[in-house]
Amino acid sequence: MAVSSPRDKFCGVWLIFFMLGLGTLLPWNFFMTATMYFTSRLKNPTSVTSETNLTEGAREQHSVLEAKFNNVMTVCAMVPLLVFTCLTSFMHSLIPQKLRVMGSLVVILAVFMVTAFLVKVELEPLPFFSVTMVTIVIINSFGAVLQGSLFGMAGVLPASYTTPIMSGQGLAGSFAAFAMICAIASGSELQDAAFGYFITACAVISLSLLSYVMLPKLEFFQFFQDRNKQRSGEDNSLTLMQKEKQQDDEESKQEKQQNVSMMEIFKKIWVLALSVCFAFTVTIGTFPAITADAKSTVADGGSWEMYFIPVSCFLLFNLCDWGGRSLTAVCMWPKEDSVLLPLFVAARLAFVPLFMLCNIQPRHHLPVFFHHDAWFIIFMVFFAFSNGYLASLCMCFGPKKVLPNEAETAGAIMAFFLSLGLALGAALSFLFRALV
């Protein structure tokens, strides 16, 4: 007779997963919104007081560092994200969940404290550039372990518990974009705004760490964790009995079974895995590499020109993306086996040429077809909402298409393909931007 699961009292587990999702992406989003601060420190070397005192070679070096910052930052973020998500997918059973989650949060918190400290420290452009890139590699490496672990944890819970992770990640972008707009409105110095960003990120990561400490104490979460361990224990007991009979033969068989098991799980979820990969490839290939270079066509725009990108690009994208992710808590259509889901994901490819034909500057190859700012805003609303909704659907459905004892592995595989999409998008962003 099946044992009914306890209630999630006061939605405690749901809220903790939301907080952990927020803590997963908030650090990276604050780095993205602070790019003006980073590039400003690459412009002005601290050892001289005037640009005219720079040698031609030094001036060229600083301009190259400034021009390449966004692209190098994206590569330094996405490559470690992909590699460590892949490692987490295959090795999550070898490292305890508590060590993976808490260890990642502690390292990210420590790195952000150092980053906040460096805001007040004068460094030459090249050392500052190098330190920043190392910081980005560390944050995204441990962020990948954290993200893969979270989706694996959510995989053993009901399907709706992937939604708070996705929703929390969506709010992270909105929160960071709103902080950027507030900094512009207040007229704060870039260094003061950046310091505020990083201290805020430290506070959120600390809350995420505290939330995870509380998670095992909740009956609802513990019930599903114990049930998953029980099923794994039954599998291990059978394996031990087989080893007692014929150890050498059974060891080789077990290795084959594990390999087959991973492939069998992938065969069940490959459509959803490739769909979430393609969704994020299109998104990261376009945003922010192309969209952040859009210019308002309003003559004498004044304040609107200053707020156009922060509001119409970053804030609007993140709010609509968050809305799409959150909608899956109340609506899950189309269903996991529907052919419409991958078709809708594939249709998002149309947004790439649509944004290219907006007023993206500078441009060298394509004409501007959609002149008015309204076109850019309309495209952004549908682009962001579809990304959040469709990607969240795929992530929710993936672990539910496999057996309960395979759900954690399926969640980790889905997280890997999500990260693969981010990495492919980052690589394609160079090509897409060059075509404009």
* More confident call, 340 vs 68: 340
Residue bearing tokens 């707020």: 307
DSSP string, 299-360: TT-THHHHHHIIIIIIIHHHHHHHHHHHHTTT---S-TT-THHHHHHHHGGGHHHHHHTB-B
Q: 426 in helix, strand or coil?
A: helix
Higher pLDDT: 332 or 242? It is 332
The predicted pLDDT at position 62 comes to 54
CB 207 within 8 A of CB 16: no
- Contact by Cβ (8 Å): 92, 149: yes
**pLDDT, tens only, 146-169:** 988 898 888 888 878 888 998 998
Answer yes or no: are the C-beta atoms of 177 and 332 closer than 8 Å: no
Phi, psi of 243 (to 5 degrees): -65, -35
- What is the percent of the chain with per-residue pLDDT over 70, rounded to a whole number? 87
Q: CA torsion sign, 259 to 408 to 162 to 175?
A: negative
Taking CB atoms within 8 Å and a gap of at least 24, the contacts of 364-373 are: 364/436, 365/435, 365/436, 366/435, 366/436, 371/297, 372/297, 373/296, 373/297, 373/298, 373/308, 373/312
Kindly report the CA angle at 427 between 425 and 429, in degrees rounded to 5? 65
- Asked whether residue 244 carries a pLDDT value surpassing 60, the answer given is no
Of 23, 46, 184, 196, which Cα lies nearest the Cα of 121?
Answer: 46
Tokens at residue 180, please? 């950027």
Tell me which of 91 and 304 has the higher pLDDT: 304
pLDDT digits 0-9 by tens, 205-226? 999 999 999 998 999 999 888 8
Distance of CA 138 to CAs 63, 108, 306, Å? 26, 8, 33
For 353-377, what is the mean pLDDT?
94
CA nearest neighbour of 222 among 338, 397, 344, 97:
97
Mean pLDDT of 389-404: 91
pLDDT of residue 46: 46
The first and second tokens of residue 13, run together, are 């587990």
Mean pLDDT of the region 244-258: 49
Could you tell me what percent of the chain has a pLDDT over 90? 39
Whether 105 shows a pLDDT value over 80: the answer reads: yes
pLDDT value for 60: 53
Q: Report the distance separating Cα 390 and Cα 344, nearest Å.
A: 8
Sign of CA dihedral 368, 70, 33, 280: positive
Over residues 235-239, the mean pLDDT reads 49
Could you identify the residue written with the tokens 């980073």? 38
pLDDT of residue 323: 93
* Position with higher pLDDT, 292 vs 135: 135
Can you give the pLDDT at residue 234?
53
Q: What is the pLDDT of residues 71-93, one digit of tens each?
A: 788 778 888 988 898 888 777 77
Decide which of 272 and 403 is more confident: 272
pTM for this model (two decimals): 0.78
More confident of the two residues 137 and 186: 137
Name the residue with higher pLDDT: 91 or 406: 406
Mean pLDDT of all residues in the chain? 84
At residue 260, the pLDDT reads: 46
Mean pLDDT of 338-360: 96
Q: What's domain 11-227+257-435's architecture?
A: Up-down Bundle (1.20)
pLDDT of residue 257: 47
Domain locations along the chain: 11-227+257-435
